[in-house]
Amino acid sequence: MPDGIDARQACSAIPPDLETRKDFERLNPIARNDAKLAMPIIPREQHTISRKNISKAALRVLYRLNEAGYDAYLVGGAVRDLLLGGHPKDFDVATNATPDEVKRLFRNCRLIGRRFRLAHVVYGNEIIEVATFRGASEEVGVEGDRHIVDGRIVRDNVWGTIEEDALRRDFRVNAMYYDISDFSVRDYVGGMKDLDNCVLHLIGDPATRYREDPVRMLRAVRLAAKLDFRIHPSASAPFSELGPLLSGVAPARLFDESLKMFLAGHGLKSFRMLEECKLLKFMFPATARALKRGDEALRSLIEQGLENTDARVAEGKSVTPAFLFAVLLWGEVRDLAHTWGTQGKDVNEAWARAAAHVVAEQCQRVAIPRRFTITMEEIWSLQPRFEQIQRKKVFRLLAHPRFRAAFDFLLLRAAESPAIGELGQWWAHAQQLPHETLAAALPLHQANATGEAEPARPSATRKRKRRRKPAAGKSGAG
């Protein structure tokens, strides 16, 4: 369920007083029996969710809980997506059983999270997340394990009723529950209506909900992009004032969120919405800056990169975060490298420094793991090497483990200038040629024109000398 819970933190900090059923009863708000909230129950024959479309693992969890006497509901994005006729990517379950009770019921279960304690029930590579209903705010006078610092929830383990649980979710469309005991859907907050109107409303006062958890702003953008919904003006109005709160969010959580935005098949739309909502600068300041300089070629490079990524996801092909982040940050790296290069720095050093600089700044916002930043830096630093059409260098580049990614990146850069476009074609062609033909077609020394688009004709290189150049000065050349 919510956010980047660090499984490694696991249950080390679980307060012992939440461990037993008795404590659960004690901590449960009196409001459990409060009928203040209406209970619109949509019976099976009036909605479209069929068990056929629910994963076997999720059904098993729901039935087991229910047979043990607990309430068990499918909830959140899965219910929303099933009602929209889609295929949920994960299935979350909500119940009145405490995490420890869930653990007792399932052998294949582990408890995770500190901010939100959750049970993960594992079937092969499918994980069903089981969350205990969360309680309402302190006004109810409950004692419990909720900590709020500067309006932000830092820990939240107050158990509650299903109605309270609904109110604590982010959007109305995310707060519907599918009841395994009678196959009805419970809609306490008007989610069904929003689904019909293709709109996202936040539950409660938007500013308060964003202050509690600023990532909800990004979730609004991501969901709107994914579902092709609009964000209701009441939910987007606070963005300009509260957007800066995103800088207080853990960078690791923003990394998770950015993957969900850009690598889940709706990256282009997410990007456009982020920009439109003026939130891009809080996640990718360098990208926002470069685009603000009015670089239209960069915009088309990013959009093309995201479009290609979306297409790959749609075809079930693999996508790498490294390529995506290399695309997003390219403008700033390139401009810095040029600036430093023209200030008399060695070209390679200028590129390396520009890459390191941009990565360091970005990682303060979005914690891109090192294994990806290494690849990004390689993709960038290989770009100037595509211009070096010389036999040894060409073969060295072709053999580079990151050649494929760097070449794909070069193709994206075609929008930058016709010369880069031609260079891309040259390399596409060069890869098709047999080794000997290519070798024969390449000059031994660097061609002077940057934009030589064709391999030199074999006849032109016939005169090449077999002699080795004694003082080439290149280290480690074979």
Return the active site residues.
90, 92, 170
Cα within 13 Å of Cα(168), Cβ side:
25
Contact string (CB under 6 A) for ligand ATP, positions 142-181, x = contact = ---------------------------xx---xx------
- Shortest distance (Å) from residue 219 CB to ligand ATP: 6
- Shortest distance (Å) from residue 92 CB to Mg ion: 6
Contact string (CB under 6 A) for ligand ATP, positions 208-247, x = contact = -----x-xx--x----------------------------
- Shortest distance (Å) from residue 257 CB to ligand ATP: 9
Residue 1, interface with ligand ATP (CB under 6 A)? Answer: yes
Q: Which of 90, 135, 140, 137 is nearest to 117 (CA)?
A: 135
Q: Work out which of 6, 23, 71, 90 binds ligand ATP, going by CB under 6 A.
A: 90
Q: Using CA atoms, how far apart are residues 478 and 438, in angstroms rounded to an integer?
A: 18
- Shortest distance (Å) from residue 477 CB to ligand ATP: 50
Return the number of the residue (260 or 385) whose C-beta is nearest ligand ATP. 260
| Contacted entry of Mg ion, ligand ATP, none for residue 169, CB cut-off 5 to 8 Å set by kind | ligand ATP
Sign of the alpha-carbon torsion through 163, 42, 223, 252 = positive
Phi/psi region, residue 153 (left: phi>0; alpha: psi -120 to 50; beta: rest), is beta
Q: Which of 88, 6, 1 is nearest to 255 (CA)?
A: 6
- Amino acid in position 203: I
Contact string (CB under 6 A) for ligand ATP, positions 41-80, x = contact = -----------------------------------xx---
Q: Are 245 and 210 in contact (CB under 8 A)?
A: yes
Tell me the residue number closest to Mg ion, measured at CB. 77
Percent helix, strand and coil across the chain, each rounded to 5?
55, 10, 35
Q: Work out which of 77, 113, 305, 424 binds Mg ion, going by CB under 5 A.
A: 77
Both tokens assigned to 403? 């050649």
- Residues in 283-342 at the binding interface with ligand ATP, rule: CB under 6 A: none
Return the number of the residue (147 or 404) whose C-beta is nearest ligand ATP. 147
Q: Using CA atoms, how far apart are residues 411 and 406, in angstroms rounded to an integer?
A: 9
Q: Distances from the Cα of 279 to the Cαs of 9, 246, 283, 289, 298, in angstroms?
A: 30, 9, 7, 12, 19
Return the number of the residue (76 or 455) whose C-beta is nearest ligand ATP. 76
- Residues in 358-397 at the binding interface with ligand ATP, rule: CB under 6 A: none
The CA radius of gyration of the chain, in Å to the nearest whole number, is 28
Residue 424, interface with ligand ATP (CB under 6 A)? Answer: no
Cα within 13 Å of Cα(234), Cβ side:
11
Q: Do the strands 199-200 and 230-231 form a parallel or antiparallel pair, or are they unpaired? A: parallel
End-to-end Cα spacing for the chain: 54
Q: Work out which of 152, 260, 345, 429 binds ligand ATP, going by CB under 6 A.
A: 260
Residues that bind Mg ion (CB under 5 A): 77, 90
